[in-house]
Amino acid sequence: MKLRLVTALVLAGGLLLSVSGAEAATPVMDGKKVKVLKITGTSGVEEHDVDLTGTGPDPIDCGKPRCLRLQFVYKPAKGIKGGLMFTAKWSTPGTDIDLFVGEVGKNGRATRIAACASTGPPSEKLFLAPSALRSGRTYVMVLDFFRAVNEKVTGTVEMTSKSTVAITMPAKAESVKKVNCTL
């Protein structure tokens, strides 16, 4: 009887570990099963104006508590030709949260491929056309609490066939990197 109980506990523990590992896996955005990914978090008190001097670290490398990170694999299913719309939304107009996108290399480090960093309305959007992305590669969305006080932010990545960004900035980035970014 004790042996069965121990065996049952060991099996249950193994099942729990396998479920936890599966949940920790990097999601694959294919446009059919997975069309939208979402992350939510709250900042502490953050102020990083020193970064404007060019002496601070690249935000693509930052993590908690300054940044939220959402990593995923871009692998469109057969027949899906969508690009990616990245959105960050928060509630306080004076808060400055910046949006960065990077491609993660085999070494686990990200290289910045796009950014939307402005001050203004409590949201930012960035669109990457399919031609700016490579199927099977891992990407990361980074939400940087550049200037924020206990601000809640929601970030989404959505596979879509067209950009809904009306105003773009900067124009050079759009033509070179196929990036659309809100002001």
* pLDDT 10s digits, 149-171: 788 889 999 998 777 666 555 44
Local confidence band at 32 (pLDDT 50, 70, 90 cut-offs): very high
Statement: residue 181 has pLDDT above 80: no
78: phi then psi, degrees, rounded to nearest 5: -55, 130
Does residue 19 fall inside a structural domain? no
Does residue 109 fall inside a structural domain? yes
Give per-residue pLDDT as tens, 63-122. Answer: 788 788 999 999 999 999 889 999 999 888 878 888 899 999 999 999 999 888 766 678
Does residue 1 fall inside a structural domain? no
Considering its fold, how many domains does the chain have in total? 1
Q: Which pTM value belongs to this model?
A: 0.75
Residue 157 and residue 29 in contact, taking contact as beta carbons nearer than 8 Å: yes
Return the pLDDT at 70: 95
Does residue 21 fall inside a structural domain? no
Q: How crowded is residue 31: how many other Cβ atoms within 10 Å of its Cβ?
A: 20
Q: Hey, what are 112's tokens? A: 């910045």
Return the pLDDT at 57: 67
65: phi then psi, degrees, rounded to nearest 5: -90, -10
Structural domain boundaries, residue 142: 26-181
Give per-residue pLDDT as tens, 45-67. Answer: 666 555 554 666 677 888 788 78
Omega of the bond leading into 65 within 30 degrees of 0 (cis): yes
* Length of the chain as a residue count: 183
Does residue 157 fall inside a structural domain? yes
Q: Which CATH number characterizes residue 41's domain?
A: 2.60.120.380
